Amino acid sequence: MIDSTNIKIAKLGEKVLRKKAKKVKDVKSEETKEIISIMIDTLKKSNGVGLAAPQISISKQIMIISSKPNDRYPNAPLMQELVLINPQIIKTSKGKNKDWEGCLSIPGIRAIVPRFNKIKVKYKTLDDEEKTIIFKDFVARIFQHEYDHLIGLAYIDRVESNKDIISEEVYLKKIKEKK
């Protein structure tokens, strides 16, 4: 049983964020269901669009993608919440684009990060079914960001120039100016 009352987002510098997460062996276990429930609750409270289990200090290959417009991502597309267990990237587009990213584990910072425009992913569902899905654009970006957490990386590891890193406050001003 996991104590969900003390769950907090792991911050950059905590060892769990730099470890390769372990595969989930028993997808249908009560522990897996409990982890996912805690992740969903944590994601809703945090205004994020995705969350990986290492971000709640659990080194397991579980992620949730839940894109929706909010204060942190006002232009995010609306999508159904999706739980991915033991995900793998099986194909990527040749093309990449650069766009702004932030992270619940690195609060107050945004950076421009290159990501593949389109990716094909294989994963397990809560029912232990293997599925394949194609993500494009912003949702592909979310997946790649969360996948990095599963392999011990943070989005700032992919930034090409220090000049591409700014405060979240300045980023939010830029977004408002574009409207």
Binding residues are 103, 145, 149
Q: How far apart are CA 141 and CA 64, in angstroms?
A: 13
Tell me which residue of 151, 155, 129, 157 sits closest to 22, measured CA to CA: 151
- Examine the residue annotation and report whether 14 is marked as an active-site residue of this protein: no
Q: How far apart are CA 106 and CA 24, in angstroms?
A: 26
Cβ neighbour number for residue 75 with a 10 Å cutoff: 9
Alpha carbon separation from 149 to 22, 142, 179 (Å, rounded): 12, 11, 32
DSSP secondary structure code for residue 133 in this structure:
E
Residue 47, CA atoms < 13 Å, CB-side half-sphere: 8
List % helix, strand, coil for the chain (3-state, nearest 5).
Answer: 35, 30, 35
Tokens representing residue 159 in the block? 């930034």
Q: Which of 81, 146, 160, 177 is catalytic?
A: 146
Indicate which residues carry an active-site annotation: 146
